[in-house]
Structure 1
Amino acid sequence: MRIHGRHWLSLTALLLLAAGCQAPPKDRPLTSEVPEPPAFAPPPDSCLAEGVRFALGLRVTAPLLEEMRQRSGAKFARTLLVTDPSDPVLDPTRLNVRVEPSGRIVGASCQ
């Protein structure tokens, strides 16, 4: 198939017209400012055991356990003896308070 001069001119004009319809690329502004890195926030359904450090060394009581639960953001809290084996069921909304047989708090974790 042979393209005549008129057709060649029409094809060239059509290609130039189609190329002109493309959107220009989005240019980034040139700046030396670096955006802040994303901040990592704890999921809403988890607790933070760091909030209960105030209770380490105290004797556990029901009001103290409730205050620890509230400060950690946990849905519920429980006490475990340090000699108890760890629970295989992980729950990030549960505050586990480790106590000695005398009732003194020696640790806390969310799991």
Structure 2
Amino acid sequence: MNFKTRFCLILGATLIAAGCSSTADKPAAAAAPSGPTPDSCTSSVVEHLKGQTATPELLEQARQQAGASSARILTPTSVVTLEYNRQRLNLNVDEQRIITRVTCG
């Protein structure tokens, strides 16, 4: 075998062995704290708003109650991005602006 072939075989074996190494020596990750964190949205707190008419005032009250940093009203024709923001409250409404769904994201 020539030098290049031997080198490639040794390098490949080393990389495979490194990928199979044990993680037992690594410290365990700290457990996540339970409960809402500051500026984290909790939609279950405002589930009672379903069936009500969405207004800017109600949106702000819901945002504060849910602990969200931002909030928006989503109509059936709203164009939204696919970005997930766990600190944002979403009030989904129907054509008459009646709240049909409450989520965070």
TM bucket, shorter chain: 0.5 to 0.7
RMSD of the alignment, in Å? 2.0
Q: Which consecutive residues of structure 1, in runs of 5 or more, have no partner in the other structure?
A: 1-37
Match of 1:40 in 2: 34
Q: Residue 74 of structure 1: which of 61, 68, 84 is its match?
A: 68
Structure 1 residue runs of 4+, over 3 Å off?
Answer: 82-87
Match of 1:91 in 2: 85
CA offset digits 1:29-72 (Å, max 9, x no partner): xxxxxxxxx97223323110011112100011111111100100
Number of paired residues?
Answer: 74
* Percent identity between the two aligned chains: 34
Match of 1:63 in 2: 57
TM-score, scaled to structure 2: 0.62
What is the CA–CA distance in structure 1 between the aligned matches of 2:56 and 2:33, rounded to whole Å?
Answer: 35
- Structure with max Cα Rg: 1
TM-score, scaled to structure 1: 0.59
Q: Residue 100 of structure 1: which of 94, 101, 104 is its match?
A: 94
